[in-house]
Amino acid sequence: MRLHDIAVVGASGLVGRKILEVIQERKFETGKIVAIASDASEGKEVNVKGKSYRLQKFSEHVFKNLEFAFFSAGASISREWAPKAAADGCIVIDNSSAFRMEENVPLIVPEVNRQDMFKNKGIISNPNCSTIQLVVALKPLDAAFKIKRVVVSTYQSVSGAGNKGITALESELKNIESKTASPFPHRIAHNAIPHIDVFFDDSYTREELKMINETRKIMGKKDLAITATCVRIPTLTGHGESVNIEFDKKVTPEEVREVLGAAKGVTVLDDPANNVYPMPADSAEKDDVFVGRVRTDSSVKNGINLWIVADNVRKGAATNAVQIAEEYVKGK
């Protein structure tokens, strides 16, 4: 079996560490692993599931002779170093927003648009975590029934803001007046903040526009009618999404469950009479997208409501990135 030499950029961060963990769990056959972090971290080690990785800083041609480079260190780092890694022959799988909407960079969720990854010019983008779980559920439904319009409201955990988000919530839960530096514009403990990333002139946030534009690109439906409201809530892991879908024709909840039950990467949990439905806590450390609360929306023609949950750090970032590498190795 051929071994794959790789780099993980941002290896000391929340997603970088999770990539190293997922690589082990999924037995992605690696040879050399170059763990890259900030200059201040050079020489330190990160331990992931019993394996130690010595951190090194960026250097000229650090990516030379490597097959894959997983980037998870923010858009500015990706914009500076991902093109250099691609020029050195790496296939870059980038978790940041740096290249997602560039026309010549494929934006990939393997269950949805695997074939597009082979159109890359050295860089493949990993979508936003909220987008990934949404399109995994939308794609099979669109193929079966054709989607007309989507309205999505998110309930996003603090881990979506990285280690700083987790630290802020934990500090505030211990002391509601905590002065710990927070990535959130307001207190997150015992609260819900309808504001993720910056606002634009139209009063949508960047997070909401990411979901809208990325969903259209991944699904190959540039004119898809979709709107989003993104909310941060005080949970540690797992994003929830309340999704309202209008189809071109009448669709029953039973038909939706049947299609999603057969879809790759989807688990249907939908027995409300027995309190069975997906919850963020139950999605932790799992790679599937979970769907429940399937019901008819009688306020519109051909409407269906769904509740979608997934682990935002795993499927929403690390696992999706590793899946891209796995599928790339398999070839077209």
Sign of the Cα pseudo-torsion (108, 49, 167, 41, in order): negative
**Do 16 and 36 meet the contact criterion of CB atoms below 8 Å apart?**
no
CA distance 62 to 84: 9
Is 129 among the catalytic positions?
yes
Is 186 among the catalytic positions?
no
Map residue 266 onto helix, strand or coil.
Answer: strand
Measured in whole angstroms, the distance separating CA 98 from the mean position of its chain's CA atoms is 14
- Residue in 4, 90, 230, 239 annotated catalytic: 239
- Residue in 129, 186, 190, 195 annotated catalytic: 129
Q: Give, for 7, the enclosing helix (H) or strand (E).
A: strand 4-9
Those residues with Cβ within 8 angstroms of residue 317's Cβ, 6 or more apart along the chain or in another chain: 15, 18, 19, 72, 95, 126, 129
Measured in whole angstroms, the distance separating CA 243 from the mean position of its chain's CA atoms is 17
DSSP letter string, 86-98: HHTT-EEEE-SSS
User: Which residues are known catalytic residues?
Assistant: 129, 239
